[in-house]
Amino acid sequence: MSSLGLPRSPLIAPGVALCGWTLIMEVWLYALRIPALQKSKLQLRPEMTKTEMNSVIPASSQWAADNFAHLCEQPTQFYATLFALVQLNANDDLTVGLAWGYVGLRVLHSLVQATANPIMTRFRIFALSSLTLAGLTVRAVQHLL
């Protein structure tokens, strides 16, 4: 039970976990990009494009930033779907397992992208996370009907 006396959905934890992971990736991107930009001695200008800035730092210094951007894209669907599932009181083991599976796959995707970035491996993990998100969406439709 929550402090308000309302039942707490087990689907809240995976949503909070992915939010926390997104913040970790944000810190990681700053830890890599800021030193790389300082080392490059690039003079930052307001009209500078991201492409121009990235051209002077190693690709490996960009991977965490690229992943942070990815965590601000498709996971928005995850959060919306979780919200719907919580409202539908869809707390069954399959739904909760899919939610945690999605979080685990997104964390794995982040680690792969931010460390070595093998594109086909990353794609396979992304595709699997997309299928997991589709499964969560199907669960929401099933609970809605």
* Tens digits of residue pLDDT in 33-86: 999 999 998 888 999 998 998 999 999 999 999 999 999 999 999 999 999 999
**Which CATH code of 1.10.3470, 2.30.30, 2.60.120, 1.20.120 fits the domain covering 12-144?**
1.20.120
Burial 30-68 (b: 16+ CB within 10 A, else e): eebbeebbeeeeeeeeeeeeeeebbeebeeebbbbbbbb
Residue 28 near residue 114, CB atoms below 8 Å:
yes
Joined together, the tokens standing for residue 6 give 């309302």
Average pLDDT over residues 116-129: 98
User: Is residue 5 predicted with pLDDT exceeding 90?
Assistant: no
Rounded distance between C-alpha atoms, residue 114 and residue 67, angstroms: 7
Burial (CB count within 10 angstroms: exposed 0-12, middle 13-18, buried 19+), residue 141: exposed
Average pLDDT over residues 110-127: 98
User: Is residue 115 predicted with pLDDT exceeding 90?
Assistant: yes
Q: What is the predicted pLDDT for the residue at 4? A: 60
Average pLDDT over residues 86-105: 97
Question: Which amino acid, 131?
Answer: L
Report, in angstroms and rounded to the nearest whole number, the Rg of the chain calculated over CA atoms: 18
User: Is residue 126 predicted with pLDDT exceeding 80?
Assistant: yes
Percent of the residues in the chain that have a pLDDT greater than 90, as a whole number: 89
Residue-range domain boundaries for the chain: 12-144
Nearest partner of 110 among 80, 65, 145, judged by Cα = 65
